[in-house]
Chains A and B, each alone.
Chain A
């Protein structure tokens, strides 16, 4: 019953450092997504992967890269963190059809 698992839950980075946010789902979903949530901005799509082996940019991709490692895992990488990337990051997955998304519990990232 794990659903979507994100690691880590909290992270503090210094400006210029790099890190990778991990996401794994156990529901055999084809599609996976990375969103960031900022106050007053709602959720904005960073990158998504419609199926294993494909990735596409979302609304706010600058400063990020992604890897769809296999059907279960979809990672988000910050190569050189900036204070503007301070946010809460959510991973989600979905199956074809109108079933909605399943979200992870989020990673709270602070860049100082």
Chain B
């Protein structure tokens, strides 16, 4: 079945540091890929997405590129802020079409940014 593996945390950085959170996936066909963010005490929010190979999703300074050759979708940000402290989830939906849009999540990576 489909699966998502992301780097285990926690990740602790200083403000303005460079962030990378690795994510790799296993899926048949051509899945769509997502990053979600969960701030403390809240539900998950869609951060960015990419629906086909070589697409780059971006939002709020975060970027991720859909790499089919390496089955990866790593999340990056050039300069993190304290307000980026949250749990980040990589996820995919099958690309087989139809009405199957079930999301499969990675286990999440806790990011803490210190001032």
How many contacting A-B pairs (Cβ < 8 A)?
A: 53
**With A41-B107, A42-B89 in contact, is A100–B102 under 8 Å at CB?**
no
How far, in angstroms, from A43 to B36 measured CA to CA in the complex? 12
Of the stretches A12-20, A70-78, A90-98, the one at the interface is A90-98
A50 lies within 8 A of B45 (CB): no
**With A101-B46, A103-B45 in contact, is A94–B101 under 8 Å at CB?**
yes
Which residues from 92 to 108 on chain B have a C-beta closer than 8 Å to any C-beta of chain A? 93, 99-103, 105-108
- A18 CB, nearest partner CB in chain B, Å: 25
Q: Mark B66-77, 1 if CB is under 8 A from A, else 0.
A: 000000000000
B93 lies within 8 A of A98 (CB): yes
Which residues from 19 to 76 on chain A have a C-beta closer than 8 Å to any C-beta of chain B? 30-31, 33, 40-43, 45, 48, 50-51, 58
For B49, list chain A residues within 8 Å (CB): 98, 100
Size category, A interface: 20 to 34
How far, in angstroms, from A33 to B43 measured CA to CA in the complex? 14
B22 interface residue, CB < 8 Å from A? no
A103 lies within 8 A of B44 (CB): yes
B65 interface residue, CB < 8 Å from A? no
For A31, list chain B residues within 8 Å (CB): 99, 101
Minimal Cβ-Cβ distance residue in B for A108: B41
For B99, list chain A residues within 8 Å (CB): 30-31, 50-51, 96
A-B contact pairs, 17 of them (CB 8 A): A31-B101, A40-B107, A41-B107, A42-B89, A42-B108, A43-B89, A43-B105, A48-B102, A50-B99, A92-B44, A92-B103, A96-B101, A98-B32, A98-B49, A100-B46, A103-B45, A106-B42
A residues near B (Cβ < 8 Å) are: 4, 30-31, 33, 40-43, 45, 48, 50-51, 58, 90, 92, 94, 96-98, 100-106
